[in-house]
């Protein structure tokens, strides 16, 4: 049992998946920082000095200075600014994955169909070698059709 488990763990595909997962998590962190620290401040400045991270609708009836303060207090609120940030994160990651998949598909060699080695007898409809001039099944003369 231990040997089978060890063989399963060290299989190339499993190791590749683990590495891809770790790189994906790191990539997600970089994209999150890119969105939250670079993109959203620029968009916020363009739409009138809005900090999207602080956009929320307070449902608790108490006043809070910011969305993080409301979160820390456990206030019932709709944090739509955080949702906008998460949506932009998702769109950027989805676009990058789309580009990676397109690049991978371009690099893949298209499968070439093997050349046919048989043809159909026009009389009995069985498969016969391409060079046959007489059908071995119905003995029909195929003439110059071979």
pLDDT tens digits, one per residue of 126-135: 999 988 888 8
In a shared domain, residues 76 and 129 = no
In a shared domain, residues 135 and 83 = no
What range does the domain containing 52 cover? 2-107
Q: What pLDDT, on the 0 to 100 scale, is given for residue 146?
A: 42
CATH number of the domain encompassing residue 57: 1.10.1200.120
Q: What pLDDT, on the 0 to 100 scale, is given for residue 131?
A: 86
In a shared domain, residues 59 and 127 = no
The torsion defined by the Cα of 82, 84, 90 and 93, in degrees rounded to 10, comes to -100
Total number of domains in the chain: 2
In a shared domain, residues 92 and 124 = no
Residue ranges for the chain with pLDDT beneath 70: 9, 12, 144-146
Half-sphere exposure of 32 (CA within 13 A, CB side): 10
């Amino acid at each position: 049992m231990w040997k089978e488990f060890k063989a399963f763990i060290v299989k190339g595909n499993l190791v590749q998946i683990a590495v891809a997962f770790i790189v994906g998590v790191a990539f997600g962190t970089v994209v999150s920082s890119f969105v939250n620290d670079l993109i959203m401040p620029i968009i916020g400045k363009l739409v009138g000095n809005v900090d999207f991270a602080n956009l929320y609708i307070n449902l608790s009836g108490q006043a809070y200075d910011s969305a993080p303060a409301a979160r820390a207090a456990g206030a019932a609120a709709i944090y739509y600014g955080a949702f906008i940030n998460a949506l932009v994160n998702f769109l950027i990651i989805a676009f990058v994955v789309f580009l990676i998949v397109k690049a991978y598909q371009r690099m893949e060699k298209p499968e070439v169909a093997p050349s046919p080695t048989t043809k159909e007898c026009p009389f009995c409809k069985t498969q016969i070698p391409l060079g046959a001039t007489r059908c071995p099944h119905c003995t029909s003369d195929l003439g110059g059709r071979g």
